[in-house]
Structure 1
Amino acid sequence: MRVTGHVLGVPSERFTEATVAGVVDAAQASPGMAAASWKLGVSAGEQSRSLPSALVAGFREVPTQISGTFTGVYSLITNPNTGGVLGPNGVSGPVGIVRITNAVARSGWLNLITWMATLSVALGVFNLLPIPFLDGGRFVFIAIEALRRRRVRPQLEMAVHYAGLMVLLTFVIVVTIHDIQGNQ
């Protein structure tokens, strides 16, 4: 969020004291203003639930996660503000996922379980995309065979899946290099 030329009131709770801090962009600060440097962010909290309530909330969360995964993939492709797949809000490879998992693990076991579920749903949805070598790519061949009522030549299917594997491995290598370079 960026507010230019205005003071933004940010409510804060510290222990039992509630305050509102006036925040202004450093570039807009006047010389007489008191200066302090803070990073604003969001911290995750845990909400206590009964077991039945937690089960219901868990089942409701799965469709939200699946929808969010599709929305995220669509946004990576179509939204110029994300910076693209390798942009600052792009995808993470194995190195980035380990870093995120480490940070989430430090914030509590409930957040870690939620992250693992989110990652599992995202990988499951990704696996169903119609990309050769993934299950979704195999489903495309099954659909083609059903429409044509005859099998695709096994050599052709194998070549397509092999090409898909090479593209995916190249993508993983590029993203991993990006993760390493972006976090030094």
Structure 2
Amino acid sequence: MNDRIVRMTASVFLWCLFCLGSAEAGKLLVIPSDGSHWTGMRSSSGGVGHRGNQVVVAIPEANLSMGPAQHTTTLTYPVPYTNAQLLEQVNAGDTTLMGADVSSDLARLQNIIKTMDMLNALITHNTEGLLSNKDLMKKLQDYNFDAILTNPFEPTGTIVGEYLSVPAIYIQTSNPCGAYALASQCPAPAPICHS
């Protein structure tokens, strides 16, 4: 029951930030994932900022699609790759996936493992880049955020939320039946699991 109360509280907080123009504005940290994950978060973040809340978005300097959103402050952090290297890696991954052998379960499993290894390396670089940037982490701590809006596709936001002692609100809840929320003990809307 306690987990349910925490989830409801986080949902009500986000709803209040987004829908109500309160007399006291909130402070929201946004740590998005690249690609289509950012597309959905960008408009939500801008909408929360438009309503008078302070919204700070932290993104890696090299990325495919992330950038400033209206009514937000964007902070960047260095990562050990360039935009060109990232694009090259993504294109190589796409080529590998499109030409992958899917004739057996073993071949499909091997392709999944290769893809996961590529994503793991990228996510690790992003997380290390942010957490090792002491100046930026101090700046984020000084903001004294009320909540962090993140996508559990990457654990970076959850880790930063834990480090800053700020509750995380997940924008996507389709990962395996909410395992990320159980593992991190962060509030999230109740997942819907299909058997």
Q: Aligning the two structures, in what range does the TM-score lie when normalised by the shorter sequence?
A: under 0.3
| Structure (1 or 2) with the larger CA radius of gyration | 1
The structure whose RCO (Cα within 8 Å, separation 6+) is larger is 2
Give the structure-1-normalised TM-score. 0.26
Q: More strand by proportion, 1 or 2?
A: 2
Give the structure-2-normalised TM-score. 0.25
Q: More helix by proportion, 1 or 2?
A: 1
